[in-house]
Structure 1
Amino acid sequence: MRIETYRVPGHFDGRECFVHARACHIGGGEYVMTLQKLDVSGSDLFSPLYASYSSDGGRSWSEPRPDDAFTVRTDADGTRRLGCDATPLLHRATGTVILCGHTVAYAPGQKVPISGGVRQTFYSTLDRANRRFTPARIVEVPDSYEFGCATGCSQFVEDTNGDLLIPVAIPRGGSYATGVMRCEFDGETLRYKGMSNELYINVPRGLYEGSLCKFGDHWLLTLRNDAYGHFSVGDTPESFGEPRLWRWDDGEVLENYNTQQHWLELGGGLYLVYTRRAGNNDHVFRHRAPLFMSRVDPDTMRLVRESEIIVVPERGARLGNFGVTMVDENHALITAAEWMQPKGCEKYGSDGTTFAVHVYSD
């Protein structure tokens, strides 16, 4: 296995930093990465979308620039709304790059999102010629999801018929269940077609920020939970089994908690990228750095401990809101921006860097 690490022009001026760095390969040596600025004086206080581009195989990247995909919308009462937690994907059936995330709202004068607010799934497409995303649109869903149906920080999949399979969080009784939403996409409009069974556990905040992949004959869904990371296996993307804890091959539970995990396929093998308690990272918020990668045994769905490596280093800042995209069967890209909270994390060496880490099977 070979790893090459590059840096995207970063930003940290003591007030703002880039976060939510996620990218996709759009053909040849071309890549696009989306990010947002975070105001560190608040909590999840985001700017509208920024975008960066690479034309040399993801080695050098342009300075991130504001993009109008989801500009701030202000309600009559002063509530501010925008999109966040987005992931881009190349839809091969149409050759279109689609960006999916969810809405977030802030009450006037507040620096934290409105608690319990309805979050919806938004999408936008890339105008490649002008290197701009189109104005965001909301996915229309059945009334049964009136309290929210939102994808965020997720990996989603294009099915063989061109449908998009998108993990979504669904509010249920003050917590969250996760389902996989099936949508038709014609290159312009994303249309709801159906929903899988919902997955839920009776642990604070339930299951959310799911990531989906297909490996062999099975559909795999990895899930964030406040106490421990979980996963589920389905024979189809409409029917998943009971959520299970991530474990090592010796049966010990993986010490990942309250942080997303993502899939990576490489050289015919299945891998998981994640954060965890490591004994030497107690100074990092929720132990969200470094980023680790381990091979998954597809027969037991356990992590092979001896395969674990660090793919993005820990320098005090958290890295938990990261992205993984497949370039081809032997090449993947991991993107992560140093989230410069809490105050003082820079004393360990972090400076708001955004990492672009290429992982090769050779």
Structure 2
Amino acid sequence: MMKRRTFLRLGGASGAALLAGRPALSTADESALLGEIEKQVLWRNRDGGAVTWFHPRGCMIPRTEGKPLALMTLQEIAGSDYFGPVHWTLSDDLGKSWTDPAAIPSLGRRPVEGHEGLEEGACDVVPEYHAATDTVLAMGHNVYYRGAKFSVADQLARYPVYSVRKADGTWTERKVLEWDDPRGAKSYSNGSGQRVTLPDGEVILSLCFHAGEGDRKVVGVRCSFDGSTLAIKETGPALSLPIKRGLLEPSVTRHGERIFLTMRAEDERGYVAVSEDGLHYGEKKAWTWEDGEALALSTTQQHWLTHSDGLYLVYTREDATNSKVIRWRSPLWVARVDTEKLCLIRETERVVLPLVGDGVNEPDEVGLMGNFHVTNATPGESWVTVGEWRPRREATGDTLLARLHWERPNRLVSSD
């Protein structure tokens, strides 16, 4: 029987040891691992009477007694790439109810010196609990606005920004993840990216970067974090795709002894690569099914769902039901990853959050779900959170949480 108090184990040797010596699972076992999926509406705004909360991304904070505390960052969306200040909210009942969102003071907007009327904000924030320092590291990147819209002509240097929630519940001032490499002179970002925290407290992540050329590249990064300052220690060789904007929004996870990387692209594909150290990745490979058929993906992020007995990918793709939906960003799907062949197993595919409406005849009524996050909440349950929005319906939409129930306990989430 699983006890109620749980916390997320941080990868590394301890996670690898859990997998050592286990027999390979049959396809039937793999497909049976993921059980019931439930949909919960956290905040409603399809009628436009409230706030459309976007970028809902959570993490779990252990407590000495009772259930872990869930923390989520989120922000209002009012147009394409136009976001309000970053907020945060808490749940002490495993996501059933949440406090009213409150602004993180350091992740709001501020005027840009020397550029009258231009404001710098923050977006694409991902919070993750850091056990070694008992803090939450919430990192996204900066963005520029002029008036009530994203300022295409005024995008100055872009870079990761973060704030730290200390054990006493207060948030620190905004800081920048500094990278003095000229390859990132125009932009470098880990926005929306999943990270891996090692047992010693170091952080593995990936950066998407460019110096002004058209296509972005992705590089593996190892950082130190002392509870206050995140600092880059080492980077690896870059991965590239010289098509349109290149490789975007990379996310990493650890499964067994390896680090897995998934990347958004603009050639109707997504890409995966694997590394032993999170720095040196092998050749990237387009996401396919096990028979080699490529998934049709339209410039949208993918994220990892990890279980001690298997690795999964959450994504959007082309389907007969969503042919007119912008970038096919509904529904959300999940499928098991073959970690040796680096492909998805077709018969394990499930719908995480369904398309609501008619994606062929009335696509403007469909809520887009392309900006989502995955959280391992308890040994028996993981979450996928997303803020849907309808860009041609005044940016209205609901904020959703999908509860993915496991048939066997996820030993990457410890209980005691």
TM-score (norm 2): 0.80
Q: CA deviation at 1:101?
A: 0.5
Spell out the pairing of 1:169-318 with structure 2 (5 A cutoff). Answer: 169-172=208-211, 173-227=213-267, 228-315=269-356, 316-318=366-368
**Count of residues in Structure 1 that have an aligned counterpart in Structure 2:** 353
Contact 1:15–1:39 (CA<8 Å) still a contact in 2?
no
Q: CA deviation at 1:206?
A: 0.5
Spell out the pairing of 1:332-351 with structure 2 (5 A cutoff). Answer: 332-343=382-393
Q: CA deviation at 1:14?
A: 7.0
State, as a whole percentage, how many aligned pairs show the same letter. Answer: 33
CA RMSD of superposed structures (Å): 2.0
Q: Deviations over 1:112-170 (max 9, x none)?
A: 2335532111111114544x532221112224233222111110111232111122111
Bigger fraction of residues in helix = 2
Bigger radius of gyration: 2
The answer to whether 1:104 aligns with 2:127 is no
Inter-partner Cα distance in structure 2 for 1:354 and 1:53: 15
The residue number in structure 2 matching 1:348 is none
The residue number in structure 2 matching 1:319 is 369
Inter-partner Cα distance in structure 1 for 2:57 and 2:390: 17
Q: Cα–Cα, structure 1 residues 71 and 322, in superposed 2: closer, same or farther, change >3 Å? A: same
Contact 2:134–2:167 (CA<8 Å) still a contact in 1?
no
Inter-partner Cα distance in structure 1 for 2:406 and 2:307: 6
Bigger fraction of residues in strand = 1
Inter-partner Cα distance in structure 2 for 1:344 and 1:73: 25
Inter-partner Cα distance in structure 2 for 1:138 and 1:344: 33
Query: Residue type of the partner of 1:190?
Result: L
1:150 is matched with which residue: 184, 189, 195? 189
Contact 1:292–1:309 (CA<8 Å) still a contact in 2?
yes
Inter-partner Cα distance in structure 1 for 2:51 and 2:244: 30
The answer to whether 1:136 aligns with 2:168 is no
The residue number in structure 2 matching 1:63 is 100
The answer to whether 1:21 aligns with 2:56 is yes
Q: Deviations over 1:37-73 (max 9, x none)?
A: 1113xx2111110112111011222232322131211
Structure 2: gaps (5+ residues): 1-34, 357-365, 408-416
Contact 2:109–2:120 (CA<8 Å) still a contact in 1?
yes
The residue number in structure 1 matching 2:17 is none
Inter-partner Cα distance in structure 2 for 1:247 and 1:256: 10
Inter-partner Cα distance in structure 1 for 2:242 and 2:293: 21
Contact 2:303–2:313 (CA<8 Å) still a contact in 1?
yes
What secondary structure sits across from 2:327 in the alignment?
A: helix
Query: Residue type of the partner of 1:133?
Result: W
Contact 1:248–1:254 (CA<8 Å) still a contact in 2?
yes
What secondary structure sits across from 1:306 in the alignment?
A: helix
The residue number in structure 1 matching 2:28 is none
The answer to whether 1:355 aligns with 2:400 is yes
Contact 1:296–1:304 (CA<8 Å) still a contact in 2?
yes
Bigger relative contact order, structure 1 or 2 (CA pairs below 8 A, ≥6 apart):
2
What secondary structure sits across from 1:280 in the alignment?
A: helix
2:76 is matched with which residue: 37, 41, 50? 37
Q: Cα–Cα, structure 1 residues 143 and 293, in superposed 2: closer, same or farther, change >3 Å? A: closer
Inter-partner Cα distance in structure 1 for 2:168 and 2:38: 29
Q: CA deviation at 1:344?
A: 7.6
The residue number in structure 1 matching 2:111 is 74
The residue number in structure 2 matching 1:9 is 43
Q: CA deviation at 1:6?
A: 2.3
Q: Cα–Cα, structure 1 residues 305 and 120, in superposed 2: closer, same or farther, change >3 Å? A: same
Query: Residue type of the partner of 1:359?
Result: L
Spell out the pairing of 1:84-95 with structure 2 (5 A cutoff). Answer: 84-95=123-134
Inter-partner Cα distance in structure 1 for 2:163 and 2:147: 28
Q: Cα–Cα, structure 1 residues 219 and 135, in superposed 2: closer, same or farther, change >3 Å? A: same
Structure 1: gaps (5+ residues): 346-350
